[in-house]
């Protein structure tokens, strides 16, 4: 199924306010045959929440929660905790293209507790929606960004702050030019990639996604240093 066909399938499954046995089987079979990476599964998970959000005006809360629970059991089953020998491997993504922003969205969609973001500029609404979805799910999110970019035309930083996400900006005459994020304290995204449409559509950029404990710990320490200093 294409992304638009998946969207139509999810909307149709909400018509009778439940994910039927046949629909579960169809979705499960499609996942097994077509969804090969955690990134694709994360994008699908985002589609599930988008469908639920669109239907929220016509469904009561209990019905919506039941549908979400049944659907996510198929789309994003709970994995067993990782051990020191089965940490997901390091992955590398490049732009122009969809892979960088989709990997960022995937990490927000699959994180469970915390996300610390340290990024020069945030203007891509697709990424902002995944941040806000994560906030609504109860994740503790903190954002560090540059003062010269935080209030640019098109910046999503004011919107994120209005949603209750703690935001700090660098007030020095220099730039807070980092582009990294730490997920649940165990996964790091880092690279040249700013969270902007131009980075996705025009620029030659990169993201490295790693669970290397030494690298993660170094960036956790740097985020804490910056957060405390601002």
Please identify every residue annotated as catalytic.
177, 179, 184
Say which DSSP state 122 is in: B
In whole angstroms, what is the distance from residue 101 CA to residue 144 CA?
18
Measured over the CA atoms of residue 122, residue 127, residue 132 and residue 137, the dihedral's sign is negative
- Mode of pairing for the β-strands spanning 205-210 and 91-95: antiparallel
Exposure class string for 206-216: b at 16+ Cβ within 10 A, else e: ebbbbbeeeeb
Gyration radius of the chain over CA positions = 18
Contact 174, 211 (CB under 8 A): no
Residue 80 is given by DSSP the state P
Locus of tokens 């990294």: 180
């Amino acid at each position: 199924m294409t992304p638009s066909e998946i969207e139509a399938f999810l909307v149709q499954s909400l018509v009778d306010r439940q994910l039927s046995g046949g629909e579960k089987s169809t979705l499960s079979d499609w996942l097994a045959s077509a969804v090969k990476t955690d990134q694709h599964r994360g994008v699908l998970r985002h589609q599930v929440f988008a469908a639920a959000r669109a239907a929220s005006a016509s469904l009561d809360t209990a019905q919506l929660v039941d549908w979400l629970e049944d659907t996510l059991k198929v789309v994003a089953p709970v994995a067993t905790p990782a051990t020191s020998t089965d940490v997901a491997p390091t992955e590398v993504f490049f732009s122009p293209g969809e892979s960088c922003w989709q990997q960022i969205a995937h990490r927000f969609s699959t994180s469970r507790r915390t996300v610390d973001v340290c990024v020069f500029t945030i203007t891509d609404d697709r990424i902002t929606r995944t941040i806000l979805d994560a906030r609504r799910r109860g994740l503790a999110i903190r954002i560090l960004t540059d003062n010269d970019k935080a209030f640019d035309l098109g910046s999503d930083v004011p919107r994120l702050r209005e949603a209750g996400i703690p935001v700090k900006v660098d007030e020095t005459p220099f730039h807070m030019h980092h582009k990294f994020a730490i997920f649940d304290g165990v996964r790091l995204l880092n690279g040249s990639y700013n969270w902007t449409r131009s980075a996705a559509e025009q620029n030659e950029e990169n993201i490295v996604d790693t669970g290397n404990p030494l690298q993660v710990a170094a960036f956790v320490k740097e985020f804490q240093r910056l957060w405390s200093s601002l």
